[in-house]
A and B are shown apart, each in its own frame.
Chain A
Amino acid sequence: MADEDDIILSELNDEELVQQMMDDLYDGLKEEIEEAVEILLERGWTPYDILTKALVAGMTIVGADFRDGILFVPEVLLAANAMKGGMAILKPLLVETGAPRMGKMVIGTVKGDIHDIGKNLVAMMMEGAGFEVVDLGINNAVEAYMEALETEQPDILGMSALLTTTMPYMKTVIDALIEQGKRDDYIVLVGGAPLNEEFGKAIGADAYCRDAAVAVETAKTMVARKHNQMG
């Protein structure tokens, strides 16, 4: 039996429900997010609107509070997990309904490194922002990146590393791109806890992104600039 204070999501109007979704996302309540997504779909919302106005907007607040030291990694992961639940419902529908595509990204953690929490967050937020993401997973050698770039022809290559010992491998990949004359074909974004802007510049990346929100904004700006140059 429901407690007296329990909120019945289906009884909320659209505005209240979206606000409630942002709160539930913040609190990492996956089942509630999934339920609310279904309710909005039944009410005729487009998958794209649910994604951007509720999930991405909510996750942006989570990201900002993480950056400000109000939330910590465990809470961000729970929120991401809740968003993932909503995304799983929306993803097939987004394709069917022809949601706008911002561009394509190939992303992966570099060779020798099995850490993927930050990389997964970036992939999810990029998808939320309308990018098609091809996730290569962990421990990727230069050949794996090259093959994926060749096959997928993305706008962006994203590389992640958590270890001081593995972050130099990003340069190995960028050098291979230069060697093959392909460096300018892609926007290269790098990220990971021990990295900084200086390192990103030193290895020849287009940008270092300190978190998922920055990665999305940087990707949007750079892809738009690239398309303008081409146009």
Chain B
Amino acid sequence: MISDQSLSETGLSASGAGRVLVIACGALAREILALKAANRWDHIDLTCLPAKLHLYPEKISDAVRDAVAEHRDAYAQILIAYADCGTGGGLEATCKELGVEMIAGPHCYAFFDGNEAFAARAETEITAFYLTDFLVRQFDAFVWRPMGFDRYPELIQTMFGNYDRLIYLAQTDDAALDAKAEDAARRLGLRYERRATGYGDLASALRDFATQTA
């Protein structure tokens, strides 16, 4: 059983089964495994880097580079399941250099929403803070504690004063997650909105990779 804590802290090891590999962020593990199972993409193996790398985006490119080096010989092809994720184009440059594909988009919440739709809404949702299923489950570990709100609640206004709403981009229908997301909005003093996205562009990117490597 995979725990969110291990996906955050250590990631996920490759199973060794499958000819091609997806190297993903730990925050996408459940979603990729769900897509893999639903579509019977048995030739695809998955390994994940710790999701907590998102707290230090400057480390993502090097971590991906190391993972590609580690697995390259064992797999026919590799897909990087990351978006830009705050690397400022750094990850795209690394992937280009390594000759591997990555998923387009600025962040995972953008490709879940669909990159085009997300970009089209950029102006009207400039004051929105987004959570995905993973981020709802890991709200305390990825938002509340790293921002220091557990120790200094007065910082909520400093950091979220320019936001007015929290939009939960839901990959799955889960009433418990919905309630947790709403509670996160309340704690941050933001209006709550839920938008069902499913797996968005992650599904199409994986489908392309699966077809291409079948």
Contacts and interface: CB of A to CB of B under 8 A. Distances in A.
A186 interface: no
- Which of B84, B88, B126, B148 has the most CB atoms of chain A within a 10 A radius of its CB? B88
A114 B155 contact: no
Q: Describe B's contact surface by its main secondary structure.
A: loop
Contacts of B84: 164, 194
A193 interface: yes
B88 A196 contact: yes
Interface residues of B, number: 24
Contact of A199 (B88, B123, B162): B88
A195 B158 CA distance: 22
A231 interface: no
Contacts, number: 60
A178 interface: no
A224 interface: no
A172 to B, nearest CB: 15
Contact of B158 (A117, A167, A196): A117
A139 B126 contact: yes
B89 interface: yes
Contact of B127 (A72, A73, A114): A114
A72 B151 CA distance: 13
A116 B57 contact: no
Contacts of B88: 164, 167, 193-196, 199
A114 B126 contact: yes
Nearest to B164: A114
B86 A193 contact: yes
A167 B127 CA distance: 17
Q: Which A-B residue pairs are the 10 nearest by beta carbons? A: A74-B148, A194-B88, A114-B162, A164-B84, A164-B106, A165-B106, A194-B86, A77-B158, A74-B152, A74-B155
B159 interface: yes
Given A73-B146, A195-B88, A199-B88, 17 more contacts: A74-B148, A74-B155, A77-B158, A78-B152, A112-B126, A114-B163, A116-B162, A117-B158, A138-B162, A164-B84, A164-B87, A164-B106, A164-B107, A167-B88, A193-B57, A193-B86, A194-B88
B122 interface: yes
B203 interface: no
Contacts of B151: 74
B210 interface: no
A60 interface: no
Interface in A129-168: 138-139, 163-165, 167
A72 B148 contact: yes
B147 interface: yes
Contact of A164 (B86, B158, B159, B162): B86
Interface in B117-153: 119, 122-123, 126-127, 146-148, 151-152
Contacts of B87: 164, 194
Nearest to B119: A165
Contacts of A199: 88-89
- Residue of A73, A113, A164 with most partner-chain B CB within 10 A: A164
A75 interface: yes
Contacts of B122: 112, 165
Contacts of B146: 72-73
A115 B147 contact: no
Contacts of A193: 57, 86, 88
